[in-house]
Chain A
Amino acid sequence: MARELLKGNVAFAEAAIRAGCEAYFGYPITPQTEALEHMAVRMPELGRTFVQAESEVAAINMVYGAAAAGVRTMTSSSSPGVSLMMEGLSYMAGSEVPAVVVDVMRGGPGLGNIAPAQSDYTQMVKGGGHGDYRQIVLAPASVQELIDHTVLAFDLADRYRIVSVVLADGSLGQMMEGAELPAMRPPRAADASPAWALSGAKERDTNLISSIHLDPDEEERFNHHLQAKYAAIEAAEIRHEEHLLDDASIAVVAFGTAARLVKTAIAGERAAGVAVGLFRPITLWPFPTDALRDLSERVEAILVVEMNMGQMLEDVQRVVAERCPVGFFGRTGGVMPMPEEIAARIRALATQLGAAVSDAPEEVRT
């Protein structure tokens, strides 16, 4: 496939189609609506299902139905819409159906605004719905990764019978950059249905997709089954990127768009002689716990940068414990941290640590 100039929202929608998504259900919400509009054109063209639902509540329950019937299915939305999906996501976790959700996050709380933010880390990574459940959360930092993560999300969802989330933000959804789409996967054979799916009980026992276990002991056993599955995912599916960390005394931890901005800041600080690198979780759940713990033993300080007020910070603090100091810099409400602001925080940290800095600026406090 050739490299093209692609808008993020269109790119992930087309990537989903090429990954074999057979049914899309959605509701308009900025800044992800181009995805819904792309699906409205492309899905009928290919003889696949597109429904504009009456709400995000309905959209996620339509996804639940299509997933229960055994096809690759997805929805996409943005923060306030995703809040409305929490009920459905909990039910889908409780009945172990695979599906993909792309969340193009915006500023909050409440109606907030339509500017880029990382406001849904806690909601998506910790489980905003009720019950002890997890969903795989992938955090792309470019349009190319938005494409690749969407494809990966479908494969992981099917492999583990779990909901996979692609946690993007308004800037990734709206920006255009060069990227390459995957080849179109051949369509699923009409009779290629998972053994557990609802397809009509022909020459087999009836299938049931349900999240109810009225007997508490049975519900507890089911939860233990889920936890065992989650442990298997934690053992096999953690992904992260390390950038210029080999000799670093300072590590910045950031995901998604924030990590991309951090890279720009790091380039400048490296040129100024600051030994700083980036640790970027790509899977936010499962979280790269072991790698981050190892890192915390070899750097002198960690700076967490997010487009929120420190939602991932809590996880970093939990993992790092007292091994090294953890600082934080965040912009929120749809404001993006500029590389210069991030660089100033890195420089201040380096100064505090007494690290060699070739052209130390005036002191900046974090």
Chain B
Amino acid sequence: MSVLAPPEPALTPVYSYPDALPHVPTHYCPGCTHGIAHRLIAEVIDEMAAKERTIGVASVGCSVFAYRYFGVDFAQAAHGRAPAMATGVKRVRPEALVFTYQGDGDLASIGAAEILHAAVRGEQITVFFVNNAIYGMTGGQMAPTTLLGQTTTSSPAGRDRATMGTVLRMSELLAQVDGAAYVVRRSLHDVVQIKRAKKAIRRAFEVQEQGLGFTMVELLSSCPTNWGMTPEAALGYIRDEMVPAFPLGDFKVPETRAEAGA
């Protein structure tokens, strides 16, 4: 029987909770990538020393309780309305860093009008669009982002193009809008992609602070519970099935580095 050695004195922590993400246990399922997305956003808020001027707007879906996890002022919007509510906040608090955090049912379905027109007006807000191709909170129904043929509880025989249409690619759509300044898609399925996602989050916040227009970072995410997969298999599903349907990339960036103040 081995005996653990006593801890080394004066150990320096090299990895801890960001200030903007207090140590609160989350309600997310094992293997869900919401935790990664939350952490990346909180790290960037810390790095920008923006905690005291950040206001978040939570949506309806699995991230309905996002306000519990971030150590910043928060509002909890009606389903799909976060971009409208964030518009109200940002217009009267232009000095604040304002972001929404929305899933694909919230943003691409019931909130399609609100997200589109926030972009049209060039609202100086940042949208984090967590796309896992399914309704998580209500137990796995089809979303506008559900892949063709993907089975869900409301497309039990698989999504059928003839009666259910096919995937709605919001980043590509919003990139067409003049008011959008920065629209990119990243993924959270491996470490390299996660690091790229964090850079995009930072860039989106910077573009907001430079007042260049609407910014959105779409994050391809997993839902092991409703996909009926192990967490590891779910990450593989993002890589092998979602990325081909939702190509990663920059769909809209400020025209010049100088313009972005980079």
Decide if B55 touches A198 in the complex (CB within 8 Å): yes
Distance from A302 Cβ to chain B, minimum over Cβ atoms (Å):
41
A88 contacts partner chain B, Cβ-Cβ < 8 Å: yes
Question: For chain B residues 99-143, which have a beta carbon within 8 Å of chain A?
Answer: 113-114, 116-117, 120-121
A201 contacts partner chain B, Cβ-Cβ < 8 Å: yes
Task: A73 to B117: give the CA distance in the assembly, Å.
Answer: 20
Provide 13 A-B residue pairs closer than 8 Å at the C-beta atoms, listed in order of the A residue: A54-B114, A58-B81, A58-B84, A58-B87, A61-B77, A61-B84, A66-B91, A69-B55, A70-B92, A88-B78, A206-B73, A210-B75, A210-B76
Task: A201 to B53: give the CA distance in the assembly, Å.
Answer: 7
B185 contacts partner chain A, Cβ-Cβ < 8 Å: no
B71 contacts partner chain A, Cβ-Cβ < 8 Å: yes
Decide if B64 touches A25 in the complex (CB within 8 Å): no
Distance from B157 Cβ to chain A, minimum over Cβ atoms (Å):
33
Which residue of chain A has the shortest Cβ distance to B123 in the bound complex?
Answer: A51
Pick the contact of B84 from A53, A70, A95, A198 — CB < 8 Å? A53
Decide if A68 touches B88 in the complex (CB within 8 Å): yes
Contact with B along A198-216 (1 / 0, CB 8 A): 1111110011111110000
Pick the contact of B88 from A55, A63, A201, A207 — CB < 8 Å? A63
Decide if B78 touches A61 in the complex (CB within 8 Å): yes
Pick the contact of B52 from A61, A202, A208, A212 — CB < 8 Å? A202
Decide if A199 touches B73 in the complex (CB within 8 Å): yes
The interface centre, meaning the residue of B74, B75, B92, B121 with most chain A CB atoms within 10 A of its CB, is: B92
Given contacts A58-B84, A62-B84, contact A198 B91 (CB under 8 A): no
Question: For chain A residues 322-361, which have a beta carbon within 8 Å of chain B?
Answer: none
Task: A94 to B225: give the CA distance in the assembly, Å.
Answer: 31
B54 contacts partner chain A, Cβ-Cβ < 8 Å: yes
Task: A57 to B82: give the CA distance in the assembly, Å.
Answer: 12
Pick the contact of B78 from A25, A51, A68, A87 — CB < 8 Å? A87
Which residue of chain B has the shortest Cβ distance to A71 in the bound complex?
Answer: B92
Task: A212 to B114: give the CA distance in the assembly, Å.
Answer: 21
Pick the contact of A201 from B73, B84, B89, B92 — CB < 8 Å? B73
Task: A51 to B57: give the CA distance in the assembly, Å.
Answer: 19
B237 contacts partner chain A, Cβ-Cβ < 8 Å: no
Given contacts A61-B81, A69-B92, A200-B52, contact A51 B75 (CB under 8 A): no
B residues at A contact (CB < 8 Å): 51-55, 57-58, 64, 67, 71-78, 81, 84-93, 95-96, 113-114, 116-117, 120-121
Contacts of A88 in B (CB 8 A): 78, 81
Contact with B along A22-62 (1 / 0, CB 8 A): 11010000000000000000000000010101110111011
A230 contacts partner chain B, Cβ-Cβ < 8 Å: no
Decide if A206 touches B88 in the complex (CB within 8 Å): no
Decide if B93 touches A199 in the complex (CB within 8 Å): yes
Contacts of B58 in A (CB 8 A): 210
Distance from B255 Cβ to chain A, minimum over Cβ atoms (Å):
26
A91 contacts partner chain B, Cβ-Cβ < 8 Å: yes
Pick the contact of B89 from A22, A69, A95, A203 — CB < 8 Å? A69
Contacts of B73 in A (CB 8 A): 198-201, 206-208
Task: A25 to B51: give the CA distance in the assembly, Å.
Answer: 28
Contacts of B71 in A (CB 8 A): 201, 206
Decide if A209 touches B117 in the complex (CB within 8 Å): no
Distance from A79 Cβ to chain B, minimum over Cβ atoms (Å):
21
Distance from B69 Cβ to chain A, minimum over Cβ atoms (Å):
11
A252 contacts partner chain B, Cβ-Cβ < 8 Å: no
Task: A23 to B92: give the CA distance in the assembly, Å.
Answer: 7
A67 contacts partner chain B, Cβ-Cβ < 8 Å: yes
Contacts of B57 in A (CB 8 A): 65
Contacts of B78 in A (CB 8 A): 61, 64, 87-88, 91
Decide if B52 touches A58 in the complex (CB within 8 Å): no
Question: For chain A residues 154-213, which have a beta carbon within 8 Å of chain B?
Answer: 198-203, 206-212
Decide if A61 touches B114 in the complex (CB within 8 Å): yes
Decide if A69 touches B88 in the complex (CB within 8 Å): yes
Decide if B74 touches A23 in the complex (CB within 8 Å): no
Distance from B96 Cβ to chain A, minimum over Cβ atoms (Å):
6
Distance from B87 Cβ to chain A, minimum over Cβ atoms (Å):
5
Contacts of B121 in A (CB 8 A): 51
